[in-house]
Every structure is written in structure tokens, then in C-alpha cells.
Amino acid sequence: MSYLDNIRTFVRVYELGSMSAAGRDLRISPAVTSSRISQLEEHLSVRLFQRTTRSLTPTEQGRAFYGGAAGILEAVESAEAQVVNITDNPKGSLYVAAPLGVGRRLIAPLVPGFLAEYPEVKIRLRLTDRTVDLTTEGLDLSFFLGQPEDSNLRIRKIADVDRILCASPDYIAARDNPASGEALMADRVFMVCTMPRMLVSVSLWRSSASRDWAIPCLQISPQISLRISFQGRANHSDHPLAVLWP
């Protein structure tokens, strides 16, 4: 039984003048009420009440203890109220990191609505494709793509992100329609990443009017998923370069 529960029980017994009345108020049995008072008296090494079959009278030590005990409960209730207020009405600064693409398309559009709902919160959004460290960089929240590494951080899956492997018609014609993912690994690949090696999960589609840039020769069914480990000869972290480099 917690010491705070014992103090709370003592205060209600003192105020109501009865073990049974205090038990009803706290929704505990008279036996539990009496046990809590006994534990508190044992802890303090004093008697807090003089008990008879018909009356319950606080001792001098009990009267002295009541003032401090009531103050403790008021302080705890005040602290709890402040926590609830912060939870219901957040305030302060929120430092958030996200990958460039995810941040621009998914996170940034939600920020104005969030700020309107929580007017006392300020958001600092950092968009970067490099790996961030929440602890050392003072971040409160970070969005990332891929499988999470082992971590003591609290992680929640937001959504699945499909990757579509695409190529221009000229690329396909110049390489005689590569027939497998392994064939692509042997070819020239420009990686958009911040690491020299990246494992991606791609969805390969049949070429159609709406998907002129898809790789038709790798299509076996209307849609398949294939995991390929790419290691590009040239790596960069800026997406527009992917279409500028030859």
C-alpha cells in the first residue's frame, strides 16, 4: 500500500471522525481503512487517534500531523491538475524532423491545422534525408522511412510507402530490356540517398499509357513486389539530380 494512500485515508478519517465514514467516502472497506491508519502509525511511531468502541478522537500528534498531511494532498492535487492542463492544452515548442519528400508532401500541409488547434504550441520542422539523432539534436519527434533499428525510443508505424521502380524508354532500349532485378544491379544506377548502400522494396508495373516510365520486362503479374539491394556508382541526396544526370 502506498504511503500517499495512507495519508489520504488519515485525512478523511480525521475530517469525517469515523473509520466507516472514511471507508465509504474512499470506497474501501473498514478493515482496509483501519489497516492503513495502523501502517501510518507504525511508520510514524505514534498514535494518531484514540479509539474506543463509540468514539474516535485525534491525538495531539494526530492534530499536528493533519495540517501537513492535508497540505501534501493539496500539493499533489495541484501538480496533477497542472499535468492534466498541459495534456489538454499543450504549450511550448515542438521540434520535429522528417525526410524531405515525406515532410513536404505529408507533414508540412498538416502543420497549419495543428497550430490552429493548439495555439500555444510552436513547431520547428527540420526536413532532411540524413539520419538524425533525437537525443543529441534536441528533437521531440522524428519521421523516417524504412525498417527501424533496435532502439529504446518509442516507435509507431504510420503507414506503408510503396516504391515504384521506373526507367525511361530510352534507358530500356539502350540496355536491351533487362529481364531481372539482378541485371539492374549490374547496370549504372544513380542513387538518391544519404548512404552508399540502400536496400529498397520496389513495386514493378506493366507499361501502360499512364505508366510510360515503368519497366515492362520485369512484370510477371499485374503487380509484383521485389526486394533488390542497389549499390549506386554515384550517390546524391538531391532528388532533382536523378533526372539531370545522364
184 and 136 both lie in a single domain: no
Rg (CA), the chain: 33
97 and 173 both lie in a single domain: no
Residues 206-232 have pLDDT tens digits of 333 333 334 444 433 444 444 444 444
124 and 56 both lie in a single domain: no
- The answer to whether residue 118 is domain-embedded is yes
Highest mean pLDDT out of 22-31, 81-90, 181-190: 22-31
- The C-alpha cell of 22 is what? 472514511
**Where among 70, 88, 106 does a domain terminate?**
88
**Cα pseudo-dihedral 36, 40, 41, 46, rounded to 10:** -160
Q: What is the 3-state secondary structure (H, E, C) of 74-143?
A: HHHHHHHHHHHHHHHCCCEEEEEEECHHHHHHHHHHHHHHHHHHCCCEEEEEEECCCCCCCCCCCCCEEC
Give the residue with greater pLDDT, 143 vs 230: 143
231 and 167 both lie in a single domain: yes
Residues 64-80 have pLDDT tens digits of 999 999 999 999 988 88
* Residue 213: per-residue pLDDT: 37
Q: Considering its fold, how many domains does the chain have in total?
A: 3
Residues 100-134 have pLDDT tens digits of 888 888 889 999 998 888 888 889 999 988 888 88
- The C-alpha cell of 145 is what? 522511412
* Residue 187: per-residue pLDDT: 53
Report pTM.
0.47
Q: What angle is formed at CA 12 by the lines to CA 9 and CA 15, rounded to 5 degrees?
A: 150
Pairing mode, strands 49-51 and 56-58? antiparallel
11 and 71 both lie in a single domain: yes
Q: What is the span of the domain harbouring residue 218?
A: 163-244
Give the residue with greater pLDDT, 54 vs 31: 31
115 and 167 both lie in a single domain: no
